[in-house]
Amino acid sequence: MEPDIIIVGGGLAGLSAAAALGGAGFRVELLERRPILGGRASSWEVPGTDATIDNCQHLLFWCCTNLLDFYKRLGVSDKIRWFGAIPLRTPDGRESLIAASLLPAPFHLAPSMMSLHALGLGDKLAIGRGLLAMISDLRRRSPEDLDSQTMMSWLEARGQTPLAIERFWRAVLTSALNEDLEVVSAWHGLRVFWKGYAANWRAYRIGLPAVSLTELYSRELPNVTIRPRAAVTGIDAKNGSVSAIRLGSGEERRANAYLLAAPFEVLGEMRPELKLDLKHSPITGIHLWFDRAIMERPFTGLLGRTVQFAFRRHGSDDDGEGYVQCVVSASRTLVPMSKGEIVDRAVAELREFFPAAREAQLKKSAVVKEVRATYSAAAGAEQVRPTNVSPWENCWLAGDWTRSGWPATMEGAVRSGYKAAELIAEKLGRPQKFLVADLPADGFARWLGVP
């Protein structure tokens, strides 16, 4: 029996669309070229060891409403651990915490920001002025206007000090957007900060999966047939419609509707109509196994060095206590470096931040360079991102690279999948609502008029 819908791509966009449409009673067939699901949010076994690691540590915020809804559909909401404090360290080993006070949004994080030891009083006052300017610009300037300039140019025009830029704005936004301040769109930078840290009292809370990413997404979905190792090699289309999906095996698959949720560069190689002028930004995950635990907290933000975040894990293997993953977003400087050079730099930096690392011995390591980790949310790129509509009347697009309203994040991918699923359900005559509204502004933030 032919399915109602064929989905190409088993990343978060394809999986979320499949979960939504299957849950609504549509027969869905999902084609994934790899043996595992999750796309760029997946796990793999380190060659020559019995260790299974995530390609890169993925985290989420409480404001990721659609991602949380997707986890609910998968039945894995209880697999997410939530943290109400964000520790930040400087290379001298000193630590400060970003955490909510009893003040209402958008002032709830102000006391902890004012106590950051990494910044002087002048830096903190500059940040305060920057936050007021953020609210004003989000209210008065158009998204197109803000998207036309970089975040760095916006910060410099608002009188941000060098230390405020490096130890606050860069620390927060580079990891969130996987792009350098000198490149990333001011629209995305301001929106992410507002949605994630200012608009809602709980929005900033960080969630970490308690299981591997592959385990998180490997769930049975109602009315969904998942076909791993099904590499799509062609999209047949004529007279304004897709007629079939061709697999590398020579098989052709047909359905009433199609959703293309593979990476944009892959789709562009199959069909010239889908080629986009978007660039990529890399992420590097550095996996280190020490002979002892070197971190006390589950994660810590690191200021002033190459590594931006370090995560620990209580593993099931014998040396799980000594496992640390270092994450470097927008890691262009690391791409040409060898594994040994990257590991040596990460270990040296960890020994600055964590005294326990100075006596620890490194037992093994792995480096994962995701050169095409995300599209680059550069200034002006928002105008290049496509909507969910494709050139064909029975085919749609999904992925964090589509115009979801969010940058290249797991939340953006799921939003895209849900939006495409709504369009498909409507086309097939059974309209459904899948997309979840953003976390609403609360406290005083609700009266500021920020869209």
Domain count, the chain: 3
Do residues 221 and 347 both lie within one domain? no
Q: What is the mean pLDDT of residues 361-371?
A: 94
Q: How does DSSP assign 335-378, residue by residue?
A: TTS-HHHHHHHHHHHHHHH-GGGGT--EEEEEEEEEEEEEE--B
Residue 423 has pLDDT above 80, yes or no: yes
Q: How many residues does the chain have?
A: 451
CATH number at residue 10: 3.50.50.60
Last residue of a domain, one of 344, 375, 406: 375
Give per-residue pLDDT as tens, 109-134: 999 999 999 999 999 999 999 999 99
Query: Looking at the domain assignment, is residue 61 inside a domain?
Result: no
Do residues 270 and 192 both lie within one domain? no
Bigger pLDDT: 37 vs 428: 428
Query: Looking at the domain assignment, is residue 321 inside a domain?
Result: yes
pTM of this structure? 0.94
The one-letter amino acid code at 221 reads L
Do residues 351 and 303 both lie within one domain? yes
Do residues 270 and 286 both lie within one domain? no
Give per-residue pLDDT as tens, 279-299: 999 999 999 999 999 999 999
Query: Looking at the domain assignment, is residue 76 inside a domain?
Result: no
Do residues 151 and 10 both lie within one domain? no
Give per-residue pLDDT as tens, 315-359: 434 445 799 999 999 999 999 999 999 999 999 999 999 999 999
Residue 235 has pLDDT above 90, yes or no: yes
Query: Looking at the domain assignment, is residue 411 inside a domain?
Result: yes
Q: What's residue 42's pLDDT?
A: 79
Q: What's residue 316's pLDDT?
A: 38
Residue 248 main-chain phi, psi, to 5 deg: -65, -25
Do residues 223 and 303 both lie within one domain? no
Q: What's residue 319's pLDDT?
A: 46
Q: How confident is the model at residue 372 (pLDDT cuts 50, 70, 90)?
A: very high
Q: What's residue 359's pLDDT?
A: 95
Residues of the chain with pLDDT > 70, as a percent, come to 97
Does residue 169 contact residue 416 with C-beta atoms inside 8 Å? no
Q: How does DSSP assign 285-347, residue by residue?
A: EEEEEESS---SSSEEEE-SSS--EEEE---SSTTGGGEEEEEEES-TTTTTS-HHHHHHHHH
DSSP E strand boundaries for 80-151:
80-83, 85-89, 95-99
Do residues 38 and 143 both lie within one domain? no
Query: Looking at the domain assignment, is residue 439 inside a domain?
Result: no
Q: What's residue 41's pLDDT?
A: 76
CATH number at residue 315: 3.90.660.10
Q: What's residue 183's pLDDT?
A: 98
Q: How confident is the model at residue 40 (pLDDT cuts 50, 70, 90)?
A: confident
Does residue 369 contact residue 326 with C-beta atoms inside 8 Å? no
Q: How confident is the model at residue 50 (pLDDT cuts 50, 70, 90)?
A: low
Q: What's residue 17's pLDDT?
A: 98
Q: What's the mean pLDDT when you consider all of the chain?
A: 94
Q: What's residue 320's pLDDT?
A: 59
Give per-residue pLDDT as tens, 73-106: 999 999 999 999 999 999 999 999 999 999 999 9
Do residues 336 and 404 both lie within one domain? no
Tokens of 75: 């039945």
Do residues 243 and 389 both lie within one domain? yes
Do residues 196 and 222 both lie within one domain? no
Residue 314 has pLDDT above 60, yes or no: no
- Strands, sheet with 80-83, edge to edge from the N-terminal-most edge strand: 60-61, 206-209, 80-83
Query: Looking at the domain assignment, is residue 188 inside a domain?
Result: yes
Distance CA 78, CA 110 (A): 30
Range of the domain at 111: 85-204
Taking the CA atoms of residue 75, residue 439, residue 166 and residue 284 in that order, the dihedral angle to the nearest 10 degrees is 20
Do residues 187 and 115 both lie within one domain? yes
Query: Looking at the domain assignment, is residue 20 inside a domain?
Result: yes
Do residues 141 and 247 both lie within one domain? no
Residue 385 has pLDDT above 70, yes or no: yes
Last residue of a domain, one of 166, 186, 204: 204
Does residue 20 contact residue 221 with C-beta atoms inside 8 Å? no
Q: What angle do CA 31, 35, 40 make, to 5 degrees?
A: 80
**Dihedral angle sign, alpha carbons of residues 186, 14, 429, 252:** positive
Last residue of a domain, one of 375, 410, 435: 375
Query: Looking at the domain assignment, is residue 449 inside a domain?
Result: no
- C-alpha distances (whole Å) from 432 to each of 98, 224, 256, 428 are 39, 17, 17, 10
Residue 378 has pLDDT above 50, yes or no: yes
Taking the CA atoms of residue 33, residue 58, residue 166 and residue 149 in that order, the dihedral angle to the nearest 10 degrees is 50
